Amino acid sequence: MKTTRGILLTVCLLTLAGLSLPAFGATPIRVVAAIPDFAAIAEAIGGGDVNAESIIVGNRDVHAVELLPSFFMRIRKAQVYIKVGMDLDLWSQQLIDGSRNARLVVVDVSSRITPLEVPTFKVDRSYGDLHRFGNPHYWLDPAATRPMVEAILAGLLAVAPDKAGAFRANAEAYIAAFEAKSARWRERLAPHKGARLVSFHRSWPYFGRHFELEFVGELEPKPGVPPTPTHIAAMQELLRSGTVAAILMESYFDDRVPQMLARTTGVPLVKVPVLVGAEPAATTREAMFELIVEGLANALQRGGSMAP
Ligand SMILES: [Zn+2]
């Protein structure tokens, strides 16, 4: 009897709680995203009707994730999973398979993206372990916002078709606000069109295309392979040639080699977050791009003023 009363009480309380919410009696859609950037988009689309969390939290390498038992539990209870795709997050597939959630709607955001750098040759292990299906770092392309939002919107509507009106309106408002900021970033970097940059990892082809910046080398000899002495020496020579304006490094890497190269060559080093939440100030996608664009623009301006 006690149990029944407990259940009844819970039901009553839930009903009361439901009545006090603007969305009548609705529980938020449970979303798990591979990266925080997609969780942020899902929550922007959902307003208060989506509760999104991400597998990666903080300043982490997106290619390698240690799978914790709690991740499987979270996905077992989720309604939508949002993956990066293009084999960047092979761990996502392991999580999806292992969570045995037959009703889970899986969104592969990369399915809406036209990939860059798809290998035209047969890829073997000598190519490095990553980027075998093209470059997967498309979320660093401000212009990919619309396709990313549309992919995530479709996933949310698959579980909540009744929310189509509100979710579509939220999605359009999010895109419009983002594009307004994006136009300012383009203006900010416009004086530096054609600047040649070196990065740590090959994260930037989409970003480079958007802002018309040329990425001419990476400190990793191959994606996922740490810098070797021979490769570091070659990069040092390239940086000393005077043709590279800055080193743009993803903040999740160890910065000892890039610091040494900046010190010995005089080329400025810019360390930036490549995920929402990777730095305390990168609270949203907009804030993250602001940090990347401002950091880069400031370094390029300094470099420009030093030129003869
Ligand atoms: Zn990568």
Find, among 112, 58, 46, the residue nearest to 85 by Cα.
112
Judged against a pLDDT cut of 50, whether residue 306 lies above it is answered with no
Q: How confident is the model at residue 302 (pLDDT cuts 50, 70, 90)?
A: confident
- Calculate the average pLDDT of the chain: 90
Q: How far does the centroid of ligand 1 lie from the alpha carbon of residue 128, in Å? A: 10
pLDDT at residue 1 is higher than 80: no
Interval between CA 112 and ligand 1 midpoint (Å): 18
Binned at pLDDT 50, 70 and 90, residue 129 comes out as: low
Q: How far is the CA of 46 from the centre of ligand 1 (A)?
A: 29
In angstroms, what is the span from residue 245 Cα to ligand 1's centroid?
A: 22
Q: 59 C-alpha vs ligand 1 centroid, how far in Å?
A: 15
Quote the ligand 1 centre to 62 CA distance (angstroms): 8
- Condensed to tens digits (0 to 9), the pLDDT of residues 162-174 reads 999 999 999 999 9
> What pLDDT score was predicted for residue 307?
42
Q: Which domains does the chain have, with CATH numbers?
A: 16-179 (3.40.50.1980), 184-306 (3.40.50.1980)
* pLDDT above 90 (res 202): yes
Ligand 1 geometric centre to CA of 230 (Å)? 22
Q: How far is the CA of 199 from the centre of ligand 1 (A)?
A: 12
Cα of 10 to ligand 1 centre, how many Å?
47
Please say if the pLDDT value at position 25 is more than 70: no
What pLDDT digit, counting tens, does each position of 216-272 carry?
999 999 999 999 999 999 999 999 999 999 999 999 999 999 999 999 999 999 999
Of 69, 67, 61, 29, nearest to 45 by C-alpha is: 29
pLDDT band at 123 (very low <50, low <70, confident <90, very high): low
Q: Give the whole-angstrom CA distance, residue 142 versus residue 186.
A: 10
Q: Determine the distance separating the centroid of ligand 1 and the alpha carbon of 200, expressed in angstroms.
A: 10
Q: What is the CA(206)–ligand 1 centre distance, in A?
A: 12
Question: Which of the four pLDDT bands, split at 50, 70 and 90, describes residue 14?
Answer: very low
Report how far ligand 1's centroid is from the alpha carbon of 132 (Å).
10
pTM: 0.89
- What is the C-alpha separation between 268 and 266, in angstroms, rounded? 6
**What distance in Å separates the CA atoms of residue 230 and residue 104, rounded to the nearest whole number?**
47
Check pLDDT > 90 for residue 3.
no
Its sign, for the CA torsion 94, 96, 102, 106, is negative
Q: Report how far ligand 1's centroid is from the alpha carbon of 92 (Å).
A: 15
